[in-house]
Chain A
Amino acid sequence: MANVHTEHGNGQLPQYPEKATLEGRNKILAFWLFLGGEAVLFGTLFATFLTLRNQTNEGPTAAELFSLPLTAAATFILLVSSLTSVFAIQALHRHKVKELITWLIVTVLLGIGFLALEIYEFYEYMHLENFGMTTSAFSSAFYTLVGFHGAHVAFGVLWIGVLIGQLYKKGLTVVTAPKIYVSAMYWHFIDVVWVFIFTVVYLLGKVG
């Protein structure tokens, strides 16, 4: 480990600061491995949902409940946030800290917008449609799958928020760069999961 520079001293930032240190490369690799595990986690949740999606126990069904415009709006917000997250990483590679911070802030705001829609949606279902966790097996599976994804978004928002603070304080270094890169990977992965959620939960729910 003698060859690890955690300080960037007087030298300039390397071209790919996120992969400049062994720690940075390890972090990115391990995060990929972790995402492999996350794929199984969501896969099992999807399996649960697919098993139980028609078990409505005389409660509301998917077709009665879901509103496509709301889902489309949420999807659009999350897709745009994926793009802004890509722009953030491009700014990182150009070592443009201000631009990087701006794109990260936009990403976080979009994430908050998505969460607001989801909270509104859950509130509607629970209070107006009488569709709670205990209503049916379908409702349990719905809230657990979509809620797990929502919790991931919420964690991502907090995480990127903390990283923005660190960028202000510490600037872009070989220590902060891998953290930002990894958080962007996380954000894209959340988007991938959402692609399957809007397909399997909402659209398939409308098809029947």
Chain B
Amino acid sequence: MAHAHSVKRYKGLMDWLTTVDHKKIAILYLLSGGLFFAIGGFEAILIRLQLIKPMNDMLEAQTFNELITMHGTTMIFLGVMPIVFALMNAIIPLQIGARDVAFPFLNSLGFWTFLFGGILLNLSWVMGGAPDAGWTSYTPLSSTMYSPSHGVDFYTVGLQIAGLGTLIGGLNFLATIITMRAPGMSYMRMPMFTWASFVTSAMILFAFPAITVGLVLLTFDRVLGANFFNVDGGGNPVLWQHIFWIFGHPEVYILILPAFGIISEVIPTFARKRLFGYSSMVFATILIAFLGFMVWAHHMFTTGLGPVANALFSISTMLIAVPTGIKIFNWLFTMWGGQVKFNTANLFAVGFIPTFTMGGVTGVMLASAPADFQFHDTYFVVAHFHYVIVGGMVFGLLSGLHYWWPKMFGRVLNETLGKWTFWTFAIGFHMTFFVQHFLGLMGMQRRVFTYLPNQGFDTMNLVSTVGAFLMGVGIIFFTINIIKSFMQPKGCANDPWEDGRTLEWTIPSPPPEYNFKQIPLVRGLDAYWKEKAAGNTEMTPAEPIGPIHMPSPTIIPFVMSVGIFIAGLGLMFSGEEFSSSFMSFIFNNWIVCGLGLLITFGSMLMRSLFDDHGWHIEPEEFEEEGYKHG
């Protein structure tokens, strides 16, 4: 069976550009997600600085609009999503006992399209102004009449490309989880993080095509002069709101479900108890996903949909509190009676519970349509979604990063610095956003670039800004911790927490290229814990030792994404009048756009024509990688 195909192995930068290894792609996602997270964070600091005192003139209104738009868009699509994808990539194949994802090529393609989409969006800062219509880009504000610069074009095209990458990634995880599970791992034996990722990926699959259409329509309105949202031509701006939120509301559950999954891994590990109510957790996750597609119009209560629609969406929204409540109680019961260890990963996980619950409670308040008429477009809403996204998602991510860092990089993060990270970030977070509830109730509107003095807003805005800086300090502690960890040598134990429950802790940290020398046999939920309880130190293998087939590295995904990037730029500037006649010629005649598409489809053709036979790792090569037990 061992056909020795010679394969070109790259080193250095080329290795990273051509890799199809899920663990390296995870690191690429983490790096680029971290970069965009830093950019979004910097934008947040600028926003808070502008609002530190009444009638501040540090920023102009236009710049402020661009900052809030880019802060929201960057954080959601380019910061948090890729970090989720980093953890999913790094951990899911390990948790299900697989050697890679189902489609390593698509995995790489998904990453590069996401990255080029993100780069395109952020290029707007230096190419004539960032998008300024809010992260929701409501029409007519985002029409060419009110946003004449190319800002919103960068938004539509950049998000379109990045969204394509996300969709490809989601599809890949679905196929991976359905088909690549180790023998014995039935659906109801999958770890909760895998379950959450599975459901999240399904939501990505069903939600992202909607925004694809929305963005196409907006692009056609802006570039081709179509009339979808243009009232003069018979269009309807409410259509954009519906399409955006049919995608947008599932999107926020796409953000939070992986965090639920992470918390459900961290809490049992550090409580040394199995997760309370595993099957109800699975059920609740699916129910949240299902209900998540039926609540979108609660973002539009004040649009004027009428009492029937408002009542319906009010009720469906409140229903979501039920499965979410089940989850909260399950986490609490998991800790109850356990030997809880409060290290950094667990601090973030435990801190998540009350913080997220507060965000959930304001969510139920907002779900009440009559009350929402008061809350709508005030800082109360800003406080609510930051409690669920930062207090939920980001806490979850930081927990997961501390927890799985040893597995990803073979180095444990420093606990002292970790605790500083937690306390500064958590206190900073509550300082920033707790007061915003009251600012909103007192009538401070969101998205305003300044406010008048002596309305009772002054002190709380100052507190909020100081809190934002404290959160920044927390992130700096985390960065120092990362840098410090890379100054130690690699090589922590397979199971550095000693209480690991799932398959990823049975293999070296970081895992070898092929993950598992032998695919393990899974004999129950929490497969590794089960073996530990039976007195075994390792998993029973489900196959004999043999040569391992590996996919070949390839540059094609990178080239394809460059092609899409060029096509996107060509589309955006197709109607532009350039000072150079040559530039006008190639853009106005769709030559640039066509060239980009040619590169993309040409690469696709190459991929189809030339089969990838892959290559094999022979058993003799296993030992070099060092299979340590600990």
Q: Do chains A and B touch in the complex (CB under 8 A)?
A: yes
Interface residues of A (CB under 8 A from B): 1-2, 4-7, 22, 25-26, 29-30, 33-34, 36-38, 40-41, 44-45, 47-48, 51-52, 55-57, 133-141, 144, 162, 166, 170, 175, 179
Q: How far, in Å, is A52 (CB) from chain B's closest CB?
A: 7
Return chain B residues, CB-CB under 8 Å to A52: 228, 234-236, 239
- For A55, what are the chain B residues with a Cβ–Cβ distance below 8 Å? 227, 233-236
Contact of A44 among B102, B230, B246 (CB under 8 A): B246
Which chain A residues lie closer than 8 Å to B307 at the CB level?
A: none
Interface string of B535-554 (1 = CB under 8 A from A): 00000000100111110000
Indicate whether B217 reaches chain A with its CB closer than 8 angstroms.
yes
CA distance A47 to B207 in the complex (A): 15
Stretch at the interface among B271-279, B373-381, B607-615: B607-615
Binding site of B, secondary structure by majority: helix, strand, loop or mixed?
helix
Complex CA gap A2/B517 in Å reads 11
Min C-beta distance of A122 to chain B, whole Å:
14
Q: In the complex, given contacts A51-B236, A52-B239, what are 17 additional A-B residue pairs having Cβ atoms less than 8 angstroms apart? A: A2-B548, A25-B179, A26-B102, A33-B174, A37-B205, A41-B209, A44-B210, A45-B213, A48-B243, A133-B224, A133-B226, A137-B227, A137-B230, A137-B235, A140-B221, A166-B608, A170-B611
Q: Does B214 contact A (CB under 8 A)?
A: yes
Could you tell me if B233 and A137 are in contact, using CB atoms closer than 8 angstroms? yes
A48 touching B543 by the CB < 8 A rule?
Answer: no
B214: chain A residues at CB < 8 Å are: 44
Are the C-beta atoms of A56 and B608 separated by less than 8 Å? no
The 6 closest A-B pairs by CB, nearest first: A55-B234, A137-B234, A140-B226, A41-B209, A44-B213, A40-B209
Chain A residues lying within 8 Å of B226, measured Cβ to Cβ, are: 133-134, 140, 144
A134 touches B614 (CB 8 A): no
> How near does chain A come to B105, taking the closest CB pair, in angstroms?
11
How far is the CB of B491 from the nearest CB of chain A, in Å? 27
Tell me the chain B residues, 250-299 only, with Cβ under 8 Å from chain A. none
Cα(A128)–Cα(B175), bound, Å: 49
Interface SS of A by simple majority: helix
CA distance A47 to B236 in the complex (A): 12
Q: Complex: how many Å from CA A136 to CA B216?
A: 17
- The smallest C-beta distance from B20 to any residue of chain A, in angstroms, reads 12
A134 pairs with B225, CB closer than 8 A? yes
Residue pair B225, A133 in contact (C-beta under 8 Å)? yes
When chains A and B are docked, how far (Å) is the Cα of A6 from the Cα of B5? 12
Once the chains are docked, how many angstroms separate the CA of A134 from the CA of B220? 10
With A40-B209, A55-B235, A166-B608 known as contacts, the answer to whether A30 contacts B227 (CB < 8 A) is no
Q: Of residues 592 to 608 in B, which have CB atoms within 8 Å of A's CB atoms? A: 605, 608
> Are the C-beta atoms of A41 and B224 separated by less than 8 Å?
no
When distances are taken between beta carbons in the complex, the residues of chain A under 8 Å from B242 are 47
Cα separation A87 to B543 with both chains bound (whole Å): 40
Q: Which residue on B lies nearest to A7, using beta carbons? A: B3
Complex A-B: 26 CB contacts under 8 Å = A1-B99, A1-B549, A22-B179, A25-B179, A26-B175, A29-B179, A34-B171, A36-B205, A37-B167, A37-B208, A47-B242, A52-B234, A52-B239, A55-B227, A55-B233, A55-B235, A55-B236, A135-B227, A137-B227, A137-B228, A137-B235, A137-B236, A138-B234, A144-B216, A162-B608, A179-B608
Q: How far is the CA of A34 from the CA of B226 in the complex (A)?
A: 28
Complex formed: what's the CA distance from A135 to B546 in Å?
Answer: 66
> With the chains together, A170 CA to B608 CA distance in Å?
12
Q: B209 touches which one: A22, A30, A44 (CB < 8 A)?
A: A44
Q: Known: A40-B209, A166-B609. Is A33-B171 also a contact (CB below 8 A)?
A: yes
Chain A residues within 8 Å of B546, by CB:
2
- At the interface, yes or no: B100 with Cβ under 8 Å from chain A? yes
Chain A residues with Cβ below 8 Å from B224 are: 133-134
Is B212 an interface residue when CB atoms closer than 8 A count as contact? yes
Contact of A26 (CB < 8 Å), options: B179, B205, B547, B611: B179
Taking the closest CB of chain A, its distance from the CB of B369, in whole angstroms, is: 23
How distant is B499 from chain A, measured CB to nearest CB, in Å? Answer: 31
Chain B min CB distance to A142 (Å): 11
Max chain A Cβ within 10 angstroms of own Cβ: one of B3, B178, B227, B611 = B227
Instruction: Please tell me if B371 contacts chain A, counting CB pairs below 8 Å.
Output: no
Tell yes or no: B385 within 8 A of A by CB.
Answer: no
Nearest CB in chain B: distance from A81 CB, A: 21
Residues of B within 8 A of A2 (CB): 1, 543, 546-549
B103 interface contact, C-beta 8 A:
yes
Nearest-Cβ distance from residue B618 to partner chain A, whole angstroms: 11
Interface check B206, CB cutoff 8 A: yes
Q: How far is the CA of A124 from the CA of B206 in the complex (A)?
A: 36
CB distance from A60 to the nearest CB of B (A): 13
Contact assessment for A48 and B217 in the assembled complex, using a CB-CB cutoff below 8 Å: yes
**Given A33-B175, A175-B611, A41 and B212 contact (CB-CB distance below 8 Å):** yes
- Nearest opposing residue in chain A for B242, CB measure: A47
Residues of A within 8 A of B549 (CB): 1-2, 4
The answer to whether A134 touches B233 (Cβ under 8 A) is yes
Residues of B close to A144: CB separation below 8 A = 216-217, 220, 226, 228
Closest to A155 in B: B601
Are B230 and A30 in contact (CB-based, < 8 A)?
Answer: no
In Å, the complex CA distance between A29 and B175 comes to 7
Nearest Cβ in chain A — how far from B143, in angstroms? 13
Nearest chain-B residue to A139 (Cβ)?
Answer: B227
Nearest Cβ on chain B to A7's Cβ, whole angstroms: 7
Q: Which of B91-138 contact A (CB under 8 A)?
A: 99-100, 102-103
Also in contact, A30 and B611, with CB within 8 A (given A44-B214, A140-B233): no
- A24 to B201 CA separation, bound complex (whole angstroms): 21
| Set A5, A22, A30, A48: member contacting B228, Cβ < 8 A | A48
Contact status B213-A41, CB under 8 Å: yes
Report how far A45 CA is from B235 CA in the complex, Å: 14
Question: Is the beta-carbon distance between A136 and B175 smaller than 8 angstroms?
Answer: no
Chain A residues lying within 8 Å of B609, measured Cβ to Cβ, are 162, 166
Nearest Cβ distance between residue B298 and chain A, in whole angstroms? Answer: 19
Q: How far is the CA of A118 from the CA of B166 in the complex (A)?
A: 33
State A5–B103 Cα separation when bound (angstroms): 16
Residues of A within 8 A of B209 (CB): 37-38, 40-41, 44
Contacts of A141 in B (CB 8 A): 228
Q: Are A57 and B613 in contact (CB under 8 A)?
A: no
- The distance from the CB of A65 to the nearest CB of chain B, in whole angstroms, is 15
In the complex, what distance in Å separates the CA atom of A33 from the CA atom of B171?
7
Q: How far is the CB of B108 from chain A (nearest CB, A)?
A: 15
CA distance A57 to B235 in the complex (A): 9
Q: A1-B548, A26-B102 in contact; A57/B233 too (CB < 8 A)?
A: yes
